[in-house]
Amino acid sequence: MSLIYKTGTSVLRRLPAETAHVTTVRLLRAGLGPKDGIIDRPELRTHVGGLYLPNPVGLAAGFDKNAEVPDAMLGAGFGFVECGTVTPRPQAGNPKPRLFRLPEHEAVINRMGFNNEGLDAFARRLRARHGRPGLVGANLGANKDSKDRVADYVEGLSRLWGLCDYFTINVSSPNTPGLRKLQGADEMDELLERLAQARAKLSASGPNYPLFLKVAPDLDVADVPRVVEQVRTYAFDAIIVSNTTIDRPDSIGSRWADEAGGLSGQPLFEKSTRLLSHFYDATEGRIDLIGVGGIGSGEQAYAKIRAGAKAVQLYSALVFHGPQLVREICDDLSARLKADGFASVADAVGAD
């Protein structure tokens, strides 16, 4: 089966990047995806933001923007799947081409611009899968032309409440002009306060759901303690570190230096892991962290955990390695934990 997936991944890479992605989602919807099922092992089980995860390897937002195939991706072995980014109203996103592979660097540049079908379609699909096993989260964003972007996040939270297992507030995409300004001190105060108020009302007569904040890798290290304090003040449950970067490291060469969009994949690994370490120091272990950025192996997933992450997420590496990568990472993590004398993921968190 691994050979079939590797062959399929090779064929898809011959298509233009966005065409390959659309084709992949269609194949998954047709039932042609992995059938391994969620990987659940005692040593890999972990808790993040109050959620129990059968393993710490999650699918990052961006792959399944419209909640079309969360169960197919859980079938690849992921411990949790994050759908989105979804905005209240449908939007087409930025002009094409807007997705670029950098195969020699195992990297991707995208400037998609929150293209999605909107909350109506997203909610309908989540409602249809209600009761199925597996953790599925919703990554919330704001429409590009919104006059009140904070209200967009509140609307997303309200409309999807009860339909998924957690919510990620995405203020860190570089592809919606001005969105990252919501990471500023005053702007973030307003955003988190209004979301906390909405959450209190929504949970008053029923279950509560975790809220995660997703930050940019380009965040100034000096701002990390302030963000941590705001997350603590408004009782958010975890921080995802991090989104794509607008930096263009010398390692990717001059060809891509001026290509607009967010860079993900291997060139992001070191930068995002350094920022993760700063967040772990600032939180003193009191706020759960999810490590994202450049994970393409068990070794790199383990490095994120040792830097302070209780769980990790990946997406870009699937473009180059296919869905069997999830099992390979889990196998490697199990071996590394055992070799280092750790009985579980929790024992390794922040070891470095």
Tracing tokens 């759960």 back to the chain, one arrives at 288
For residue 182, give every residue at least 6 positions away whose Cβ sits within 8 Å of its Cβ, in sequence order, or none.
149, 150, 171, 188, 191
Count other C-beta atoms under 10 Å from residue 12's C-beta. 17
Task: State the Cα–Cα distance between residues 56 and 25, nearest whole angstrom.
Answer: 23
CA distances for 55 relative to 178, 319, 327, angstroms:
35, 21, 10
- The CA distance from 284 to 99, in Å, is 37
Place of tokens 């199990």: 334
Count how many Cα atoms sit within 13 Å of the Cα of residue 122 in the half-sphere of its side chain.
30
Q: Is the dihedral of CA 92, 93, 97, 102 positive or negative?
A: negative
Residues in the chain, overall count: 352
Phi, psi of 78 (to 5 degrees): -55, 145
Q: Is 24 in contact with 16 (CB distance < 8 Å)?
A: no
Annotated catalytic residue within 146, 172, 173, 242:
173
Catalytic residue flag (residue 173): yes
If you search the block for the tokens 């069997």, which residue do you land on? Answer: 324
Q: How far is CA 70 from CA 67, 163, 164, 310, in A?
A: 6, 13, 11, 21
- DSSP for 54-118, please give it: SSSEEEPTTSSTTSS-HHHHHTTT-SEEEEEEE-SS-B--SPSP-EEEEGGGTEEEE---S-B--
DSSP 278-346: HHHHHHTTSSEEEEESS--SHHHHHHHHHHT-SEEEE-HHHHHH-TTHHHHHHHHHHHHHHHTT-SSHH
CA angle 187, 188, 193 (to 5 degrees): 105
Q: Which residues are catalytic?
A: 173
